[in-house]
Copies of this chain bind each other. A is one copy, B any other.
Amino acid sequence: MRVRLEDVARAAGVSPKTVSRVLNDEANVRGPTRERVLAAMAAMDYRPHPSARSLASNRSFLVAMLYDNPSSNYLTEIQAGVLDACDLHHYSMMVRPLLSEAEDFLERVGTLISHHRPDGLILTPPITDHPALPALLREQGVPYASVSPKQRDGAIGVGMDERLAAREMVNHLIALGHRRIAHVIGHPAHGASGWRLAGYSDALAAAGLPFDPALVIEGEFSFGSGVAAARRLFSLARRPTAVFAANDDMAAGVIWAAGEHGLSVPRDVSVCGFDDTPISRQIWPAITTIRQPSREMGRIAALQLLDVMRGRGQGRMVEVPFALQLRESTGPLPTAAPEAG
């Protein structure tokens, strides 16, 4: 038979309620008493019955993670991080894919809440930016934390400084001696595209390099758009010696096009991306890119949420550090072909 709280109480010589207090880390339990109870719990390998706890306390010990994101790599990482945090505090996690554009989106969230009664929600992009969701959650009294929301003020969760990351990526190219550095912009609808372009400009300006519109080409985050952009860049009379693509897929496309033009990467041209998706390691040369600590971000968002849920604080917006992943696709300025024409 399963060990119950009552059994622990008997073994420790206290009332069930006291065991409950220890279990829930409540105040007003004397040190020695607490230790006796903890010892008994450990000795009997006691596991509280989650349903009984929920029923009695009207909490579910459940965190639901909402997503509508085609990038499974990203999602799986975030999910793993959220799980890490949930495990730490003995919460469960459920995942829920949703279509944020669908008409019945809010209704579905409502159903989720009334059905599973999660104690809190983790929102991931683009659900983070849904205009009407915050009102619904406030009304239902369900706390939530967001991962990389566009609007950071007043939000609880986690984010990364993409603009600064892009800037440092370009700084890296400049440090390698590059002066003619091209940029392939991402899909115009994504906030990330703007942040990354801004970081590119920041770096050029800081290094006193001119911003040359001919070197800035619009892509749309796809491999094919990277190929197309690179074909234009490599056909220029004074072609760039380095290309910063706004994501890894486009960087892979640029590398492809380089091969097409008889250019060796990184000997003749350096290429870098953003996101550190698997494709950056699956092709050769492996792409220098920016890594988001996605798992860590999931963990942090969940920890902020748990703080709020457990009444341990207000929660805040945490900024995490990015990391340059230096790989084989970037190298020193080609000496045989100095950029000064």
Contacts and interface: CB of A to CB of B under 8 A. Distances in A.
Contact of A252 (B94, B115, B224, B283): B283
Given A49-B55, A227-B284, A97 B72 contact: no
Contacts of A92: 94, 116
A189 interface: no
Interface stretch (A33-41, A73-81, A196-204): A73-81
Nearest to A260: B259
A340 interface: no
Contact of A55 (B51, B222, B252): B51
Contacts of A117: 49-50
A235 interface: no
A156 interface: no
| Contact count band on A | 35 or more
Interface in A242-260: 249, 252-253, 256, 259-260
A260 to B, nearest CB: 8
A42 to B, nearest CB: 14
Nearest to A278: B279
A78 B200 CA distance: 39
A47 interface: yes
Nearest to A65: B95
A115 B282 contact: no
Interface in A197-236: 222-224, 227
Nearest to A73: B72
21 contacts: A47-B115, A49-B117, A50-B51, A50-B116, A50-B117, A51-B60, A52-B55, A55-B55, A72-B75, A73-B73, A93-B94, A94-B94, A95-B95, A223-B282, A223-B284, A249-B282, A256-B283, A256-B284, A278-B279, A279-B282, A283-B283
Given A51-B52, A249-B282, 16 more contacts: A49-B55, A49-B117, A50-B115, A50-B116, A50-B117, A51-B51, A51-B60, A73-B73, A93-B94, A93-B95, A223-B284, A252-B283, A256-B284, A279-B279, A279-B282, A283-B283
Interface of A: 47, 49-52, 54-55, 60, 72-73, 75-77, 79-80, 83, 90, 92-97, 114-117, 222-224, 227, 249, 252-253, 256, 259-260, 278-279, 282-284
